[in-house]
């Protein structure tokens, strides 16, 4: 009897405790909160673990690639093989400027810090020669910013005539085959420029740049092939382009010679008269020589000025006229459209 009474008493006490727990909202809530907190901690721990795993995997992959390239004596700065016929040299920065010495100084200072630069040529078409003060300021900037003791040349290419064709005049005795043509009011990070240089070395006959544009066939008149100029938004919308503008692009130095001597004089006269479209003329020239499209490289652009030709009215209408006039001179449309875009995978997390 005592044993039975003890069992009943114990069961009764347990039931009473459960009833008290259920009857107590605070206790129940505390139990639920504790359980939820434990689950949240576990979830956060899992997320942190996955993140650490991905970072470690990415680092291991990068180290493996680095070890592979060192083992085979290849420069790790480029994932693109250089053409055997192209010497492993740097590139010449060809800056087109016009009465914007403040922007010119910023451009020279910036590009003198880039690892691949071996000379900077300034296309000077102003009626007055550059002052001694300007030259000394730029020379000192180049000297102080040149890295690893690299002696970068600074040269003013003086022109008596004010013409947009001056930016593509042949330059004698260049140190390198590669030309990086850039306007004085735009800057790209050195990492992006050097990556574009590595892309160019994989295809040195074509044009490699940061600013894509497109020619579109005008379907409104089926009896005659006419084209209209597609600006940045049409490229962004379709992912299609056929030109990269010389305001920021690499090309082989031989095209300076071909532009000045082999290209139709009527096209050079057109660019001088209309003060426009010399960049389209260069795009036509290279496409006509190669039969291939250019290569668009992803890069963040920093624009320092807003007084360029593109800020004038009817800009796209004038460019459309250039397309059709140049097509008539060539007797065909040489531009080739493409959807290819070069991206530096070392700095991109999205594939």
Catalytic residues: 279
Which of 282, 266, 274 lies closest to 309 in space, CA to CA?
Answer: 274
Angle of CA points 328, 280, 115, to nearest 5°: 155
C-beta separation of 210 from 303 below 8 A = no
Phi and psi angles of residue 81, each rounded to the nearest 5 degrees, phi first: -70, 135
DSSP string computed for 160-192: SS--GGGGG---SS-S-SEEEEEETTEE--HHH
Q: How crowded is residue 68: how many other Cβ atoms within 10 Å of its Cβ?
A: 11
C-beta separation of 317 from 272 below 8 A = no
Query: From start to end of the chain, where are the E strands?
Result: 91-97, 117-124, 153-158, 178-183, 186-187, 208-209, 212-217, 227-230, 243-244, 248-252, 295-297, 302-303, 341-342
Phi and psi angles of residue 214, each rounded to the nearest 5 degrees, phi first: -140, 145
Distance CA 159, CA 167 (A): 10
């Amino acid at each position: 009897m005592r044993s039975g009474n003890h069992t009943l008493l114990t069961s009764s006490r347990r039931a009473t405790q459960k009833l008290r727990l259920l009857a107590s909202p605070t206790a129940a809530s505390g139990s639920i909160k504790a359980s939820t907190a434990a689950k949240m901690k576990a979830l956060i721990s899992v997320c942190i673990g996955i993140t650490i795993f991905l970072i470690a995997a990415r680092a291991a992959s990068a180290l493996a690639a680095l070890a592979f390239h060192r083992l085979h004596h290849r420069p790790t700065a480029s994932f693109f093989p250089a053409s055997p016929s192209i010497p492993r040299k740097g590139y010449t920065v060809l800056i087109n400027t016009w009465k914007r010495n403040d922007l010119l100084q910023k451009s020279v200072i910036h590009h003198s810090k880039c690892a691949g630069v071996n000379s900077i040529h300034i296309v000077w078409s102003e009626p007055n020669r550059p002052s001694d003060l300007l030259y000394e300021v730029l020379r000192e900037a180049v000297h102080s910013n040149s890295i690893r003791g690299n002696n970068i040349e600074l040269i003013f290419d003086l022109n008596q005539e004010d013409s947009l064709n001056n930016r593509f005049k042949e330059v004698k005795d260049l140190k390198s085959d590669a030309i990086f043509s850039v306007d004085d009011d735009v800057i790209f990070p050195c990492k992006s420029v050097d990556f574009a240089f590595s892309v160019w070395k994989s295809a040195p006959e074509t044009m490699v740049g940061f600013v894509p544009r497109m020619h579109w066939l005008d379907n409104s008149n089926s009896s005659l092939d006419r084209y209209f100029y597609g600006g940045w938004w049409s490229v962004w919308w379709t992912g299609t382009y056929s030109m990269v503008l010389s305001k920021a692009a690499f090309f082989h130095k031989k095209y300076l010679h071909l532009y000045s001597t082999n290209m139709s004089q009527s096209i050079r006269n057109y660019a001088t008269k209309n003060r426009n479209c010399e960049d389209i003329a260069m795009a036509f020239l290279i496409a006509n020589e190669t039969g291939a499209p250019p290569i668009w490289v992803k890069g963040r652009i920093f624009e320092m000025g807003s007084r360029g030709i593109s800020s004038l009215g009817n800009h796209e209408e004038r460019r459309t006229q250039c397309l059709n006039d140049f097509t008539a001179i060539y007797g065909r449309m040489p531009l080739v459209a493409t959807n290819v875009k070069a991206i530096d995978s070392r700095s991109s997390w999205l594939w």
